[in-house]
Amino acid sequence: MKNLVVGAGFSGATIANLIATQLDEEVVIIDKKDHIAGNCFDYRDENGIMIHKYGSHIFHTKSEKVWAYLKQFTDFNTYMHKVVGYLDGIEAQIPFNFNTLYQVFPKTMAKNLEEKLLDNFAYNTKVPILEFQKQDDDDLKYLANYVYEKIFLHYTTKQWGVPPKDVDGAVTARVPVYLSKDNRYFQDKYQGIPLEGYTKVVEKMLDHKNIEVRLNTEFKDVDASKFDRIFYTGPIDEYFNYKFGQLPYRSVNFKFETHNKEYYQSNACVNYPCNYDFTRIHEYKYYLGDKSEKTVIAKEYSEFFELGKNERYYPIPKDENTVLYNKYLEETKKLDNVYFLGRLGDYKYYDMDKAILRAIELFEEVCK
């Protein structure tokens, strides 16, 4: 059988690799970009720094299955992501935790709030910010309002382009108050950055005699009738020529800067919830411990996706968008041997590990 995979990011690369290696079938994988690895694409610049072209990508997973699969292609360092943000001019831990409490408030005040928090919540638990606001105690109400305004309100408005009340609960739940002293952004068992970068991982996944890679290639320019199966990781609405309308996305614009200093900031990722138009600054040399007299940063600006102008990044989770997506999903049921997956194909935000797992599970469902 001959297979066409549309999109050479992690979703497409995973299913192409599995078909080629486990079924010994031919795969053509296409991508309209001039490189593989999709939005995980990275490269070493002239300063020897590994640059993540489309924003910081930190691999993390609880899945033994995904970890074992990826370990075939790379070793990882032991980088564990931590985020700090500027709150009232103070660099403090994000998500808000007990350490943040003592960073932004006087010690006696922080101690009082800590005791009340432990009286009301279990230690080492995460409480979504909108849930956390439902307090009776005046001191905890004050704390909830502080966290809401200083960390959540303005950052969320910048990131999504709408007030928090118009943002889906699935998104707001990702902004918790963390009743812990754990400063890590993720608590997953497996975390790290591939030692040779993400592009090299995808390159190894696609390095097989049964796989042909075609870049700078649009799906519409390929004769789909020549293939027995199609795995489509592109935008589902684009596949159907937007017959029901466009699915909305948020996009991201990165402004890169090179500075003649060893480090620009104290951390790989620094958030600016209440200041400036950008949401955060990434400094890439932290991820693999790259040594250079210079450093490269990227300021991240959120914006709405516009066809032909920028890239799709985040599906916008709203009821009306789900209704529109479901119309397209119904259309897929009329197709024979065309399968949709990935962030754009499923219109769903996936971390890297979830995208890989979805591809593995689709392969097991369709091809075995």
- Do residues 355 and 240 share a domain? yes
Q: Is residue 206 part of a domain?
A: yes
Same-domain status, 67 and 27? yes
- Domain total of the chain: 2
Last residue of a domain, one of 178, 213, 229: 178
Residues 6+ apart with CB under 8 A from 224: 4, 230
Tens of pLDDT along 55-88? 999 999 999 999 999 999 999 999 999 999 999 9
Residue 247 has pLDDT above 90, yes or no: yes
Return d(Cα 361, Cα 125) in angstroms, integer: 30
CA contacts within 13 A on the Cβ side of 144: 17
Same domain, 326 and 198: yes
Closest CA to 102 of 232, 287, 115, 51: 115
Question: Does 167 score more than 90 pLDDT?
Answer: no
At 315, phi and psi to the nearest 5?
-60, 140
Query: Please, what is the average pLDDT of the chain?
Result: 95
Query: Could you tell me if 102 and 137 lie in one domain?
Result: yes
* Same domain, residue pair 221 and 170: no
255 inside domain: no
> What per-residue confidence (pLDDT) applies to 172?
67
Which DSSP symbol is given to 273? S
Gap between the Cα atoms of 63 and 353, Å rounded:
8
User: Which single residue is written with the structure tokens 């066809």?
Assistant: 307
Instruction: Judge whether 268 lies within some domain.
Output: no
Do 88 and 234 fall within a single domain? no
Q: Residue 230 sits in a domain of what CATH number?
A: 3.40.50.720
Look at residue 4 and tell me whether its pLDDT is greater than 90: yes
Task: Identify the CA nearest to 87 among candidates 139, 158, 153.
Answer: 153
Domain that holds residue 362: 2-77+193-246+315-366
pLDDT surpassing 70 at residue 148: yes
Residue 348 lies in a domain: yes
The reply to whether 292 falls in a domain is no
Q: Are residues 7 and 72 in the same domain?
A: yes
Tell me, yes or no, whether 203 and 126 share the same domain: no
264 belongs to a structural domain: no
107 shares a domain with 122? yes
**Is the domain of 26 the same as that of 51?**
yes
Q: Which of 178, 205, 227 is the last residue of a domain?
A: 178
Strands 249-259 and 314-315: antiparallel
Which pair of structure tokens corresponds to residue 103? 């960073």
Domain boundary among 125, 143, 178: 178
Question: Do 42 and 147 reside in the same domain of the chain?
Answer: no
Instruction: Please name the helix (run of DSSP H) or strand (run of DSSP E) that holds residue 177, with its range, or none.
Output: strand 176-178
Q: Which residue(s) pair with 27 in the sheet?
A: 3, 211
Residues 110 and 166 in one domain: yes
Q: What percent of the chain has pLDDT over 70?
A: 99
Structure tokens belonging to residue 260: 């003649």
Within a domain: 186: no
> Looking at residue 341, what is its pLDDT?
98
